[in-house]
Structure 1
Amino acid sequence: MTFVPTAEKLMPELTTREEIVLLARALWREGYNDHLAGHITALQPDGTLLCNPWLVRWDELRPDQIIRIDLDGNLLEGDWPVPLGIPLHLALHAARTDVTWAVHNHPLYGTVWADLGEIPPIHDQSSALGGGGDLVLVNEYEGPVNDLATARGAVDALRGGHLALLAGHGVFVLGTSARALFQRAVALEQRCQRAWHIRALGASPAPVLPAGFLNHMRNSDGNGFIGFWEAAVRAELRADPTLLDGR
């Protein structure tokens, strides 16, 4: 008998609210853990956004705390405040019909490279997983991205990409599902971490990954690696067996 690794066999069926919570908690473990910082948005069929609220850390987030907002940032549903930096996501979802999920945060190594204003190279396979096209450095903005005009400028500077370092700020990862976002966000931080370690060693290794492999991964939509996201979900449910009790 052949085992077919479908998502349904590897984890429970989840609502969008539950996916946001599990994504936040799993990414917290992967270094997306800058205290209260960070936003995750998921565009809904009615044009509204589900997102994590302000004042709740990602490692403590629960499904009943997820809020619903419109594309002007008005709170439509929930009893927690709208995140302060949400204009970056509002500008994104207004401009990009190809993006339904987005995550912004300040992971350590990604932020180091953003502070340097430099794109780190890809040194290994794990750093290339998830696709998303070329990693873009966004430094053509003035002022904080909680200003809508500045946020629009940052989105324009993405040039249609799905992975960005925001100079002096953090990272921005886009996709079409929680699975794609998790894969891309983890791979981006691994890429930044390993490139930093190699730089710290004073090494300048020649590229070893075939160009064909890198092009294939660059063109991936991030949804093809069944099992990676599902394993993270199972780990979070083991860590907090009560997380889905509100169903």
Structure 2
Amino acid sequence: MPMADTLTMQKDELIERAKAQMQQHLTAPTWSLREKVALTCRILFAQGHDSGLAGQITARAEVPGHYYTQRLGLGFDEITASNLLLVDEDLQVLEGDGMANPANRFHSWIYRARPDVRCIVHTHPLHISALSMLERPLQVSHMDTCVLFDDIAFLARWPGVPVGNSEGEIISGVLGDKRAALLAHHGLVVACTSVEEACLLAIQCERAARLQLLAEAAGTVQPLDPELAREAHDWVLQEKRSQAGFAYHARRILRETPGGVEHPLS
């Protein structure tokens, strides 16, 4: 039997071949920015990121210095595309009813410091919050969570409720050029180039924290080979993969939204 063509190819060749195929074959619906933010709220609620009225999800709007966020008083599971607010950097509401969460102030600092960031997720998920209480950084030691390898910072000292400008300076400073940060005694912040990427990284941060706590209860977490971890990081962190992964989670939310519950795309 003749050898299949790909069985003689090097790994880097196979990676590039697969990337080209993903560009061709992975597709996702063309949701509006408002719809993607609303879907992210629902997805993260389902993934255990709910904490009452705490947490914010924002996305840069079409006009510089403006962004979309949810209305204070609504939980992530109540967000729809139509009840999102459009606010400026001072959190003044430009479109919509109600007020933004005053803790959104540090988002303005991150957006100013990071022109590449299009979406910020800040939540208090259970396992991230538990790990934050131990004042220990997140350890990335599993293939599934390598998307976070060398890409998650750690704020070791809690600065208090993040409604002031000093907290914005501190959080944006510790985040630096990374995509995420674990905030001691607080929670999680994710800052990414797209809504899809931010949503998926937030999911993986909580999964990584849960894995770490489970593993540490049984023994010592062993480190990954840095070169292989970076390879996995770059492999997963592709725009088409992010779009496809987000679409999968969105399909689940849209399929499982019960009758009588306001639809996230409405």
TM-score (ref. length: structure 2): 0.82
**Are the equivalent residues in 2 in contact too, given 1:39–1:52 (CA < 8 A)?**
yes
- Letter of the aligned partner of 1:82 in structure 2? A
**Are the equivalent residues in 2 in contact too, given 1:132–1:222 (CA < 8 A)?**
no
Structure 1 position 187, deviation (Å): 1.1
Match of 1:81 in 2: 99
Structure 1 position 93, deviation (Å): 1.0
In structure 2, how many angstroms separate the alpha carbons of the residues matched to 1:132 and 1:43?
26
**Are the equivalent residues in 1 in contact too, given 2:121–2:199 (CA < 8 A)?**
no
Match of 1:114 in 2: 132
Change (3 A) 1:97 1:132: farther
In structure 1, how many angstroms separate the alpha carbons of the residues matched to 2:153 and 2:264?
36
> What percentage of residue pairs aligned between the two structures are identical?
22
Question: What CA deviation, in whole Å up to 9, does each residue of 1:212-232 have, x standing for no partner?
Answer: 231134456553425221111
Match of 2:108 in 1: 90
Match of 2:222 in 1: 206
Instruction: Give the one of 22, 25, 30 matched to 2:42.
Output: 25
In structure 2, how many angstroms separate the alpha carbons of the residues matched to 1:176 and 1:82?
22
155-164 vs 134-143, greater mean Cα deviation: 134-143
- Please, which runs of 5 or more residues in structure 1 have no aligned partner? none
In structure 2, how many angstroms separate the alpha carbons of the residues matched to 1:147 and 1:217?
38
DSSP 3-state at the match of 2:102: coil
Change (3 A) 1:245 1:40: closer
Match of 1:240 in 2: 257
Structure 1 position 118, deviation (Å): 0.8
- Letter of the aligned partner of 2:137 in structure 1? I
- Letter of the aligned partner of 2:228 in structure 1? F
DSSP 3-state at the match of 1:137: strand
Instruction: Give the one of 26, 35, 39 matched to 1:6.
Output: 26
Structure 2 residue 249 is matched with structure 1 residue 229: no
- Please, which runs of 5 or more residues in structure 2 have no aligned partner? 1-20
Match of 1:155 in 2: 172
Q: Answer with 1 or 2: which has the greater Rg.
A: 2
Give the helix-richer structure, 1 or 2: 2
In structure 1, how many angstroms separate the alpha carbons of the residues matched to 2:213 and 2:70?
30
How many aligned residue pairs are there? 239
